[in-house]
Structure 1
């Protein structure tokens, strides 16, 4: 553990851990100062990596009474500043079928082992690529109680199986998302129905891919990709996420 920092209300620290291949991963834990036995949330990042945006989301969760762990999916807390690099980093995690679940499971085990955390009350949330990470972790049979995704990649090569998926699911999706189509959403709904999983899908009008990230408009301009920030969809989707987490974990 390195780089511990404390504010009057929230404590944060970086935690180094490894996947089963020996890759070093560095996560960022935030939790209410002086609290223990906390419900906890894995925070799975966009394809940009474990950057300040994801750390900010972890601190917000801590402010709501959770221990939140912003996870590292690329190793050595690498982050991307442009879409080409982000795509290369993300694509590398698809090179073998088990990399995403392996690294997400390593993060879950690390979070569960923290002294502040109640290991029986853990959820996962994810943004874009991180939504796939959270869902694939649940699809693997991991012991997590809830998953919430935002403008997520919903595709999978290993569909959820009845009795092997322990989480209730909330999907927040933008109607104008050109990267994940409404047809993709329908396929995901069918997956959930087939596996008899409790789920809800909310479609937000006038919302594009990346609608929760205030940097999306600038990222779109710099990289020539179809992203867009929508503060109304952001606020409503987060209200629904917190309602889910509070109901399931508290």
Structure 2
């Protein structure tokens, strides 16, 4: 369903960081360069608006084995604790830069083992591009959804062996990563809940992306909270309406899924290093995400 307090009128559409201690040099370098990737595309803030300190946390880069391939990931967790609920953090098209790392630390401060895997690493270094169109053409568009699902499966396996309780498994993601939240929530029966921030819902089928969220809505294993902007020109409201209709005829998890639409928010309203950031919507969405995970057993 749609949260009416923040909803656009859909009646016509619906029937009836500073360097972290212990981080590797590579992680530090990527954090330092993380906001430079899209300078040619849009004016960006020099640093994230929110700075989450690492005191009391174990943070930094880890390497996750994916059938012999070593995939880097950023991990943040309360220091010295095990049996932690797990949240997978799926990045935007720009990869795991400081904003994503800080988001992981925010989850760690809330008691989670948060892991943000580098899901583009086989195709290229997302942070080395200065042009978004070129980044999409040369890296992002070449990433198979099946590869992402496998990488996330491997991340869950790593979490189970490194202090995580994967019986309490959640996933969140932003933009490109928001789309993956829907797909992975349908892929892995262990997912208890997902939070998708402005992820695309529809698209044409292709060999690398044979299905999109609308196609798997009825198959969700864990309910998904969709946090979307009413002024997001890249995600038309009618696609949200189509997704709502699909969820309504799905299983229990699909029926529990819901959308919150922030009337005046554009795409990437949570990205606090970009002009698109909307503090009120971002903070409300964050609080809802934490509450959603707790409500559905990821806490």
TM-score normalised by length of structure 1: 0.85
Q: Secondary structure at the match of 1:65?
A: coil
**Which has the larger displacement, 208-217 or 187-196?**
187-196
Distance in 2 (CA, whole Å) between partners of 1:155 and 1:18 is 31
Q: Tell me how far 1:160 sits from its aligned partner.
A: 2.4
Match of 1:187 in 2: 242
Q: What is the aligned counterpart of 2:288 among 229, 235, 240?
A: 240
Per-residue displacement from partner, 1:13-72 (whole Å, max 9, x unpaired)?
32212445x543211110011111111100000011111111000000000111100121
* CA positional deviation for 1:165: 2.5
Distance 2:135 2:267 in 1: 15
What's the counterpart of residue 178 of structure 2? 131
Residues 105 and 137 in structure 1, CA contact (< 8 A), matched pair in contact too: no
Unaligned runs of 5+ in 1: 218-227
By relative contact order (CA 8 Å, sep 6+), the higher-ranking structure is 2
User: Quick one: which of 52, 77, 87 aligns to 2:136?
Assistant: 87
1:73 paired with 2:119, answer yes
Shift of 1:247: 2.2
Q: What is the 5 A alignment of 1:140-179?
A: 140-155=187-202, 157=211, 159-160=215-216, 162=218, 164-179=219-234
Runs ≥4 residues deviating over 3 A: 3-8
Which residue pairs with 1:30 in the alignment?
76
Gaps of 5+ in 2: 1-20, 24-52, 204-210
**Number of residue pairs aligned between Structure 1 and Structure 2:** 233
Is the strand fraction higher in 1 or 2?
1
| 1:45–1:70 Cα contact (<8 Å) kept | yes
Query: What do residues 75-100 of structure 1 show as CA deviations (whole Å, max 9, x unaligned)?
Result: 17833353134313211114xx5223
Matched, 1:52 2:98: yes
CA contact (8 A) 1:4 1:12 kept: yes
| SS of alignment partner, residue 126 of structure 2 | coil
Aligned to 2:168: 121
User: What residue in structure 2 maps to residue 224 of structure 1?
Assistant: none
Cα distance in 2 for residues equivalent to 1:24 and 1:84: 28
Contact 1:113–1:119 (CA under 8 A) maintained in structure 2? no
Is the Cα–Cα contact under 8 Å of residues 23 and 75 in structure 1 kept in the other structure? no
Assess if the C-alpha contact under 8 Å between 2:156 and 2:166 holds in 1.
no
Measure the CA separation in 2 of the matches of 1:113 and 1:170: 28
